[in-house]
Amino acid sequence: GTGSSILSALQDLFWLSKSKVEKQLQIISVLQWVLTFLIMGVACTLILMYILCTDCWAIAALYLAWLVFDWNTPKKGGRRSQWVRNWAIWRYFRDYFPIRLVKTHNLLTTRNYIFGYHPHGIMGLGAFCNFSTEATGVSQKFPGIRPYLATLAGNFRMPILRDYLMSGGICPVNRDSIDYILSKNGSGNAIIIVVGGAAESLNCTPGKNSVTLKHRKGFVKLALRHGADLVPVYSFGENEVYKQVIFEEGSWGRWVQKKFQKHIGFAPCIFHGRGLFSSNTWGLLPYSKPITTVVGEPITIPKTDNPSQKEVDFYHSVYVDSLIKLFDKYKSKFGLPETEVLEVN
């Protein structure tokens, strides 16, 4: 009767409201991370400098003293927090796109690993969600493996930001940090290196599957020096979440980007996503496109204290072939045509 109709309408309204609330929470979770990525380091530095000039200067001074004492912690494996990695906000972050982690092979806890993550995208959203949080269940899928996402060392010179990054298991992508994790931190460690780096981010655009890898061999040499197995990782959809203005080689725009990349370590990209209140407007929020990260089969690497260039070249070619095979095997499952070819630059 009328009563049941009213009850049914109220139930529909309740579920509609719940859905809207969850969507807003997803947007907030992604927005806070984007702002963290873009401005948190500079903002925290400026705030700390301001506090030093106020009556609360002692608070800033104490933090700076702690910073000096704690300066080398990022180079020694950091200070991860399972509590932070399991925050509910990361599950909303995951569901916004959504992001998914696909395991193809088991990883032995008696070995160490270097994951090569491709492509970089604008912000490496899949790399962060999958390996710096527990939102996609990395610890359940790879039990006994501790993932360390490697990023620019400059981020760890920024107050507050450095502590926030370390809490997720993020480490500097430099030799000191990687050597420590792979040689003095036991076994079962997996360092995730976004191999293409800033150079690759300059070419990422929707519909394009290309990686900057042909001349990137440093990670292979590190693997040989430590006897760490190489694992190719490809994130389908990473390039789809932002649109970017691509400057041609030789243009003034590309010249400026390369100068920044050379001297500062990152390349400024001109990009946009969707607006905060509408997907039809421009803004900083990424588009909600699926990102599926596939972790491939590990390549067994022998330990060689002083690897020759011939050895580096050989295992680099094996790695490139494995990445291409991984891409070809899964491309049709995640929305790409069988004719799609992975471009290796």
Provide the domain count of the chain.
Answer: 1
pLDDT tens for residues 151-179? 999 899 999 999 999 999 999 999 999 99
Kindly state the tokens that stand for 294.
């596939």
pLDDT tens for residues 236-271? 999 999 998 887 777 878 788 777 777 666 677 888
Q: Compute the distance between CA of residue 313 and CA of residue 39 in angstroms, rounded to an integer.
A: 39
User: First vs last Cα of the chain: how many Å apart?
Assistant: 68
* Element at 232 (helix H, strand E): strand 229-236
- CA proximity to 319, closest of 219, 179, 227, 193: 219
Kindly state the average pLDDT of the residues 22-36: 94
Domain extent at residue 42: 2-344
Share the mean pLDDT of the chain: 91
pLDDT tens for residues 304-318? 999 999 999 999 999
In a 13 Å sphere around the CA of 88, the CA atoms on its Cβ side amount to 2
Torsion of CA 15, 16, 22, 25, to 10 degrees: -140
Strand-pairing partners, residue 295, are: 103, 233
Per-residue model confidence (pLDDT) at position 246: 80
Q: Compute the distance between CA of residue 137 and CA of residue 94 in angstroms, rounded to an integer.
A: 11
